[in-house]
Structure 1
């Protein structure tokens, strides 16, 4: 009987210790509290092809490659809906920046 009491007390102490460690590990650090606020600056799209209202509240910038199969798929499936719902209605401006990540083939494209 005395062994059972000691086992229960030891288990409760272990659970309490784990709970204290979890609470302490989830406390925000000073660094997180003093982090800089989110910026509202836009990526520079000067000299890049841009569609939509230049004064739109949201600016979307695609970084793509003309030789990229995933970029092509996005352009065929997502872009038309984005254009219809957001660019054409003036909710966003859309810019494209060509990023050459498929080597010589990208330069030729």
Structure 2
């Protein structure tokens, strides 16, 4: 469930999440596989930024470059979505299925 297959590569979601969480601008994140016609799936990151960080194209590039430098470059998130909060259960577990099925802002 946490494995993303993109253009024939197996990418572990938790590894990408750990790379993103090591960036000082990221408060929380969750990574899912998003359907893609060309690659099968792409890595899609849902990111909660630290207060005061702009949710703009420069931040997307900074986070993508950070992941490329931290783990294998092909594992970087091709899609980055900034959200106010991650959907969680009452016990605090991230509900990744909701990121796949709902438009969360």
Q: TM-score, normalised by structure 1?
A: 0.26
* Structure number with larger C-alpha Rg: 1
Kindly indicate whether structure 1 or structure 2 has the higher relative contact order, using CA contacts under 8 Å at least 6 residues apart: 1
Higher strand fraction (1 or 2): 2
TM-score (norm 2): 0.26
